[in-house]
Amino acid sequence: MSKIRSQEEITARVKALESMLIDQGVMTTQAIDRMVEIYENEVGPQLGAKVVAKAWTDADFKARLLQDASAACKELGIGGLQGEDMVILENTDNVHNVIVCTMCSCYPWPVLGLPPNWYKDPQYRAAITREPRKVLSDSFEFTVPEDVEVRVWDSSSEMRYWVLPQRPRGTEGWSEEHLLKLVTRDSMIGVGPVAKVA
HEC string of the chain equals CCCCCCHHHHHHHHHHHHHHHHHCCCCCHHHHHHHHHHHHHHCCHHHHHHHHHHHHHCHHHHHHHHHCHHHHHHHCCCCCCCCCCEEEEECCCCEEEEEECCCCCCCCHHHHCCCCHHHHCHHHHHHHHHCHHHHHHHHHCCCCCCCCEEEEEECCCCCEEEEECCCCCCCCCCCHHHHHHHCCHHHHHCCCCCCCCC
Active site residue 73: no
User: Which member of 73, 101, 155, 187 is catalytic?
Assistant: 101
User: Which member of 19, 70, 73, 105 is catalytic?
Assistant: 105
Active site residue 101: yes
User: Which member of 6, 19, 70, 106 is catalytic?
Assistant: 106
Active site residue 106: yes
User: Which member of 2, 70, 73, 104 is catalytic?
Assistant: 104
Q: Which residues are catalytic?
A: 101, 104-106
